[in-house]
């Protein structure tokens, strides 16, 4: 079965999510992704989401279709969707990667190209792995 990694950006629709909103979104996402064998990371900053979804091509494209219809965000745009030999975020059913404002200076999540988005999420994921629990 072919595996892919799909990365997209979207804009928050309505009120900006609170910490609790994000926690609830993650809870539901993890439960769903565990059943589907999907892994990935979700980055949220300043009204923009950047998310990577990894798994079987059909599963990921169906899930992306569902996520796109979620009214909590709009303007979903695929940055990259490519076949992968191995997962980059295989340790997480969905991980919220922290981004502080200092890091975001000069970085526009919704303006990243495929290479920038992959590098950015990979870097943030590595930083999460290094964090002392
Ligand atoms: C930015 C964002 C990312 C999301 N990521 C996922 C995800 O990775 N997996 C998932 O199952 N649902 C995700 N969701 C939630 C889905 O859109 C949907 O609400 C959830 O899967 C519940 O679907 P259900 O009502 O069919 O069970 C996400 C929603 C948003 C707004």
β-bridge pairing 39-45 and 95-97: parallel
β-bridge pairing 48-56 and 95-97: unpaired
CATH 3.30.70.100 for domain 3-130? yes
> Ligand 1 mean position to 28 CA, how many Å?
7
pTM listed for this prediction: 0.94
Closest listed residue to residue 40, CA positions, set 88, 73, 76 = 88
Ligand 1 atom with the shortest distance to the CA of 70: 17
pLDDT digits (tens, 9 = 90+) for 83-114: 999 999 999 999 998 787 667 777 788 889 99
Chain Cα centroid distance, residue 62:
15
In short, whether 93's Cβ falls inside 6 Å of ligand 1 is no
Please report the pLDDT score of residue 15 as a whole number: 94
β-partners of residue 95 are 41
State the angle between helix axes of 57-68 and 19-36 in degrees (0 to 180), rounded to the nearest 10.
150
- Ligand 1: residue whose CA is nearest its atom 7: 29
In short, whether 94's Cβ falls inside 6 Å of ligand 1 is yes
Residue ranges of domains in the chain? 3-130
Identify the segments of the chain with pLDDT beneath 50.
Answer: none
């Amino acid at each position: 079965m072919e595996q892919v990694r799909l990365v997209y950006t979207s804009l928050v629709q309505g009120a900006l999510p609170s910490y609790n909103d994000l926690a609830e979104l993650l809870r539901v996402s993890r439960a769903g992704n565990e059943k589907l064998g999907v892994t990935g990371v979700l980055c949220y900053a300043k009204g923009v989401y950047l998310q990577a979804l990894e798994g079987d091509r059909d599963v990921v494209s169906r899930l992306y279709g569902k996520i796109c219809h979620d009214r909590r965000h709009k303007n979903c745009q695929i940055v990259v969707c490519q076949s992968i030999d191995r997962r980059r975020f295989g340790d997480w059913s969905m991980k919220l990667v922290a981004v502080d404002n200092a890091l975001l200076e000069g970085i526009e999540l919704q303006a990243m190209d495929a290479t920038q988005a992959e590098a950015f999420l990979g870097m943030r994921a590595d930083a999460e792995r290094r964090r002392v629990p």
